[in-house]
Amino acid sequence: MPLRVSEPWLAAVRSTMPELPAVKRKRFVESYGLSEYDADVLTQSRDIGEYYDAVVGVYSVGPKIAANWVMGDFSALLKGADLDIGASPVSARNLGDLLWLVHDGELSGKLAKEVLEKMFESGDTASIIMEREGLRQISDSGALGKIVDDVIAANPKQVEQLRGGKTAVIGFLVGQVMKASRGQANPAAVNDLLKSKLS
């Protein structure tokens, strides 16, 4: 007997099927602007693709940045703990929130990696960890001013070199401020402060 399949039945079946990897890869390239390689890595398993999609649902302004975090630091933590993505203590929502904190200048990229590790260990959100451990990035010129003044006073030789036209020395001074602030100073704000104080 011939099998007759109606269009409504086909449509109903299609609507219940998960997105196929090839379709997801194409969507990641076309909608998110990812490279073919990134899209391929993120669709190796259905769980990774769905996790990434959920991160982008929270952190919609940077799909490439989200891809880098999911494929990089986050995947390394999963691998190190020998966990599948489904057992991750860091939800897609919480990773997306962490990326917003970096985007808004409340966390530096370096501190964000440290916070992600603590999120992975504790299951806490980035905001809770930041407040508990005092890891918020310092961007306020008033708060940074004292640290910058101390670094200038402690490095007269480098200050002289900078004033003498050796502009590469500013990188050393920024590094000293970052060290003194335990990595919490906003490097761009430090750079601007140093230039204004030493000009």
Instruction: Kindly state the tokens that stand for 182.
Output: 């335990």
* pTM for this prediction: 0.72
For residue 54, give the 3-state DSSP assignment.
helix
Task: State how far the Cα of 90 lies from the Cα of 153, in Å rounded to an integer.
Answer: 43
Asked whether residue 42 falls in the same domain as residue 127, the answer is yes
| Mean pLDDT of all residues in 136-158 | 82
Q: 167 lies in which domain range?
A: 141-198
Asked whether residue 122 falls in the same domain as residue 151, the answer is no
Asked whether residue 49 falls in the same domain as residue 72, the answer is yes
Q: Which of 78, 102, 133 is the last residue in one of the domains?
A: 133
Q: Which long-range contacts (CB under 8 A, 24 or more apart) does 38-42 make?
A: 38/64, 38/67, 38/71, 41/71, 42/67, 42/70, 42/71
Q: How many separate domains does the chain show?
A: 2
Asked if residue 139 has pLDDT above 80, the reply is no
Asked whether residue 43 falls in the same domain as residue 97, the answer is yes
40-86 pLDDT tens trace? 999 999 999 999 999 999 999 999 999 999 999 999 999 999 999 98
For residue 21, give the 3-state DSSP assignment.
helix
46-58 pLDDT tens trace? 999 999 999 999 9
Asked if residue 5 has pLDDT above 90, the reply is no
Say if residues 135 and 129 touch (Cβ distance below 8 Å): yes
Asked whether residue 94 falls in the same domain as residue 19, the answer is yes
Asked if residue 146 has pLDDT above 90, the reply is no
